Amino acid sequence: MNNRQPHVLIAGAGIGGLSAALALLQRGFEVDVYEQAPKLEEVGAGVQLSPNGTRALHAMGVLEALERSSCTAEGKEVRHWKTGETWNLFDLGAEAIERYGFPYLTVWRPDLLETLAAAVRREKPDAIHLGSRCVGFTQAGGRASLLLDGGRQAIGDALVGADGVHSQIRRALFGAEEPTFSGMIAWRGVVPMATLPQHMTRMVGTNWVGPGGHVVHYPLHRGELMNFVGIVERGDWLIESWSTRGSAEECTTDFAGWHEDVHRLIRGAPSLYKWALMAREPMERWTVGRVTLLGDAWHPTLPMLAQGAVMAIEDGFILARCFERWPTDVATALACYERARRERTRAIVLGSAANARRFHNPALADPIDAKQYLDREWSRAAITSRYEWLFTYDVLSAEI
């Protein structure tokens, strides 16, 4: 322990790395972020930010700016894969704000990244180092050295691996991992709203559920775009990547027999990408000495609770609170962070896997069985028990 505040190095300028950087800079810590990409760019996909996430973004002072480029979905509905019958799940507009104090936003990822990066640069203009691929680290003598491509290194007092699902920092800490293929792939695309028929352009989030698959779509970017994610059980695709393209024909085949509105989305997407959904058991620990992990680097999750990015934002804020509480003791601050985040992140990873079984249940094949199943599984009481604990989490008052 010494008496000066630590200099924190962060590997990865994604949603989690930038959230952590912002919350730390706002508390007066010295921070540098190392990002492999030569330009700060996010994949052109959507992300849902539930009130626990928007509450954290408000606490970082960036919610208002993000709201200007995003959409507040008025409601969420479930639709039957074949008949299109619709069940209203919950009001995500006025009622979400009344109940949770903060909106449920649907956001284009580049808008979120740009908002976070601008806020980081306002705090420290040269905090983000682009074209800096992290390849490993060493720690000794009370310092952490982040090793960068090309033989450079950065030296600080603590290192946070926020370098995503294929994290080099996690690999250097714990060795190569072996995820299990979940048996599902995710198709994604972004459809220009102007190309969709009027009944599909409402500001609602929609979740189509069917046997062996589900489809989620919601508006983005001031309502100019519609995000499409189609998840289907399929055993022949194992690449986990944001950038692997697939064809409209292949996606159409995966959703054969589904409602015409689903096919309108597939036809309307200028490009379609496919991502193999890998399952990973929650990790028991993720800190060694002065090095820790954050976001997908530590707890990648199936997307069925739409909480991966939100967890990364929460992680960043809680990490900063722990450093603020123990400003001169890295080991205690990181132990605080690990303790504060263990149960919640574990419950989300396990809950997401359980939701996959719920969304793809064989009972959904037949319209009559499906109605009974949906009335039971998406009753107000069932929804409250599945989501209330997620949405009410407050990064400002959560125990650390």
Q: What contacts 216, CB < 8 A, 6 or more positions away?
A: 205, 206, 207, 208, 227, 228, 229, 230, 231
CA proximity to 360, closest of 262, 216, 236: 216
Q: In sequence order, what are the beta bridge partners of 8?
A: 31, 158
| Residue 240: closest CA among 199, 161, 306, 179 | 179
Q: How far is the CB of 389 from ligand FAD (least distance, A)?
A: 16
Tell me the window of 59-67, 76-84, 189-197, 294-302 that interacts with ligand FAD (CB under 6 A). 294-302
Contacts of 269 (CB under 8 A, 6+ apart): 189, 190, 191, 228, 248
| Residue 225 neighbours by CB under 8 Å, 6+ apart | 46, 108, 190, 191, 192, 193, 219
310 touches ligand FAD (CB under 6 A): yes
Region binding ligand FAD by CB under 6 A among candidate stretches 261-269, 302-310, 317-325, 366-374: 302-310
Assess whether 218 carries a catalytic annotation. yes
Q: Is 212 in the site for ligand FAD (CB under 6 A)?
A: no
Sites for ligand FAD among residues 142-181 (CB under 6 A): 162-165, 168
**Is the CB of residue 279 less than 8 Å from the CB of residue 249?**
no
The residue count for binding ligand FAD (CB under 6 A) is 34
Q: At what angle do helices 51-59 and 380-391 cross, to 10 degrees?
A: 20
The nearer residue to ligand FAD, 12 or 212, going by C-beta atoms, is: 12
What is the residue type of 391? F
By CB under 6 A, name the one of 32, 35, 157, 377 that touches ligand FAD: 35
Select which of 34, 100, 104, 218 is catalytic.
Answer: 218
296: contact with ligand FAD by CB under 6 A:
yes
Residue whose CB is less far from ligand FAD, 35 or 111? 35
54 binds ligand FAD (CB under 6 A): no
Find the residue with minimal CB distance to ligand FAD: 14
Beta carbons within 8 Å of 233's beta carbon, 6+ residues apart: 183, 184, 212, 213, 360
The answer to whether residues 16 and 315 touch, using CB atoms and an 8 Å cutoff, is yes
Q: Which of 73, 186, 283, 318 binds ligand FAD (CB under 6 A)?
A: 186
Asked if residue 33 binds ligand FAD (CB under 6 A), the reply is no
- Residue pair 31/38 in contact (Cβ under 8 Å)? The answer is no
Evaluate whether 187 touches 216 at the Cβ level (below 8 Å).
no
152, two tokens:
């450079």
Q: How far apart are CA 54 and CA 67, in angstroms?
A: 10
Among 8, 22, 47, 78, binds ligand FAD (CB under 6 A): 47
| CB of residue 325 to ligand FAD, shortest distance in Å | 23
| 309 near ligand FAD, judged by CB under 6 A | yes
- Is residue 115 a contact residue for ligand FAD (CB under 6 A)? no
Pairing of strands 134-140, 128-129: unpaired
Residue 210 neighbours by CB distance under 10 Å: 24
Q: Does 17 participate in binding ligand FAD (rule CB under 6 A)?
A: yes
Does 73 contact ligand FAD by CB under 6 A?
no
207 scored as a contact of ligand FAD (CB under 6 A):
no
266 vs 297, which CB is nearer to ligand FAD?
Answer: 297
* CA atoms of 344 and 373, how far apart (whole Å): 28
Please state, in angstroms and as integers, the Cα–Cα distance from residue 332 to each residue in 1, 9, 161, 339, following that order: 10, 17, 18, 10
* Smallest distance from ligand FAD to CB 192, Å: 20
Minimum distance from residue 167 beta carbon to ligand FAD (Å)? 7
Q: Which of 133, 143, 234, 263 binds ligand FAD (CB under 6 A)?
A: 133
Residue 36 contacts ligand FAD per CB under 6 A? yes
Residue from 128, 160, 184, 229 in contact with ligand FAD (CB under 6 A): 229
Chain positions contacting ligand FAD, by CB under 6 A: 11-17, 34-37, 47-48, 133-134, 162-165, 168, 186, 188, 229, 275, 295-297, 303, 306-310, 312
**Which residues does the annotation mark as catalytic?**
218
